[in-house]
Amino acid sequence: MVERAHKPSAISPSTAAPQPSVQSERDRIIATLPTGDSVEVLLYGATVVSWKSNGKENLWVSSAAKLDGSKPVRGGIPVVFPCFGPPPKDHATGKLPQHGFARNSKWEYMGKNSSESGKLASGGDDSVTMDFGLSAQQLSDESKQAWQYDFDLIYSVTLGKDGLQTMLRIHNKGKESFEFQTLLHTYFKIDDISKVQINGLGSTNYVDKVLDASEHTQSDPTIRITGETDRVYKDIKQDTTSVVLDGKPRFDVIRDNLEDTVVWNPWIEKANSIGDFEPKDGYKNMVCVEAGAVNGWQKLEPGDTFEGGQILKSHL
């Protein structure tokens, strides 16, 4: 059990105004606002697997994604922790799988809340927060063996009328410090990759993983995806990265205490080589814009808490 100081109280059923509803199913929690906007969070990985606004799905999920806990979900918003990518062998995370254990562990649903403060949680009827917890004790034996620190994570997913907020709190419960990386691996659903521009990363330095991890500076303020793209933008000055479709704003990613962003699209060959990436031409309908802290390592001292996250906005 993850301990929590201020457990949320239930939404009062007595008010006449329509309330957000939160439904628990066997493997997921679904929140719906009176407007019909909704979010679905799988307990496996606390992975957001659907976020709909104005009747439209905003997130891409592969039609071959495993949702049964047998492997991380290919799509939605997997949570990356405590390492990003393949961990360096000589680091404390060195025995963990790519992107760590958070996305392939079963989280606990800790309850809903409509009154917590937060940029989207107005305290009214138009937003709802769901909290998910994962602590060292809940890990598989394999993960416990591979990373022997004591910690707990609380992941808060807030659906508001203006967007979706996902915030991760990382608490070091142990007696020694640890180093981590974290990232929110959002797969956006888009109509046509050839019409996409990504703005807000101009003049930023990045590592291009497609070009042997070489260092570059983003000279063009607008990024277009025309081939395999796997870039880690570091120390970004602007808070907001925007996905523009056909010249019109489509999504905003507003980072909160996360300085880096990965832009990823596997394109043709890589999509073909990823077993659970379907349909194979699905790369035309997705782009990942992943807010994170992945440039080097964040050190967390015993008793300390790190909090970082994002607000996603969908413009239609």
Contact criterion met (CB below 8 Å) for 105 and 45: yes
Task: Answer yes or no whether residue 99 interacts with ligand BG6 by CB under 6 A.
Answer: yes
Q: Which one is catalytic: 185, 228, 301, 315?
A: 185
State how far the Cα of 290 lies from the Cα of 272, in Å rounded to an integer.
22
Q: Which residue number, 85 or 174, has a Cβ lying nearer to ligand BG6?
A: 85
Residues 159-188, one symbol each (x = binds ligand BG6 by CB under 6 A, - = not), give --------------------------x---
Q: For residues 279 and 58, what is the distance between their CA atoms, to the nearest angstrom?
A: 17
Nearer to ligand BG6 among residue 131 and residue 290 (C-beta): 290
Please, what is the minimum distance in Å from the beta carbon of residue 290 to ligand BG6? Answer: 5
Q: Is 234 in the site for ligand BG6 (CB under 6 A)?
A: no
Interface residue with ligand BG6, options 40, 131, 152, 230 (CB under 6 A): 230
Of 9, 54, 63, 98, the one binding ligand BG6 by CB under 6 A: 98
Closest Cα to residue 121, out of 241, 240, 33?
33
| Residue 131 lies near ligand BG6 (rule: CB under 6 A) | no
For residues 24 and 45, what is the distance between their CA atoms, to the nearest angstrom?
A: 16
For position 264 contacting ligand BG6 by CB under 6 A, the verdict is yes
Which residue number, 28 or 185, has a Cβ lying nearer to ligand BG6?
185
126 near ligand BG6, judged by CB under 6 A: no
Q: At 67, list the tokens.
A: 């949702």
Figure out which of the listed residues 163, 290, 293, 312 binds ligand BG6, where binding follows CB under 6 A: 290
The whole-angstrom separation of Cα 260 and Cα 256 is 10
What is the 8-class DSSP label of residue 270?
H
Q: Which is nearer to ligand BG6, 262 or 312 (CB)?
A: 262
8 A C-beta contact, residue 229 and residue 264: yes
**Does 4 carry a binding-site annotation?**
no
> Is 260 a residue that touches ligand BG6 (CB under 6 A)?
no
3-state secondary structure of 302: coil
**Spatial CA neighbour of 158 closest among 109, 106, 112, 189:** 112
Q: How far apart are the first and last CA of the chain?
A: 40
209 binds ligand BG6 (CB under 6 A): yes
Clarify whether 290 is annotated catalytic: yes
Q: Which of 215, 290, 301, 307 is catalytic?
A: 290
Site for ligand BG6 in 76-95 (CB under 6 A): 85
Q: Map residue 282 onto helix, strand or coil.
A: helix
Q: Does 272 bind ligand BG6 (CB under 6 A)?
A: no
Quote the least distance from Cβ 267 to ligand BG6, whole Å: 11
CA distances from 274 to 62, 240, 266 (A): 11, 30, 9
Contact flag: residue 60 with ligand BG6 (CB under 6 A) = no
CB of 72 to ligand BG6, least distance (A): 6
Two tokens, residue 37? 């906007």
221: helix, coil or strand? coil
Report d(CA 296, CA 165) in Å as an integer: 25
Report the alpha-carbon distance of residue 91 to residue 149 in Å, rounded: 13
Which residues here bind ligand BG6, judged by CB under 6 A?
72, 85, 98-99, 185, 209, 230, 262, 264, 290
Annotated binding site: 74, 98, 103
Residues that are catalytic: 185, 290
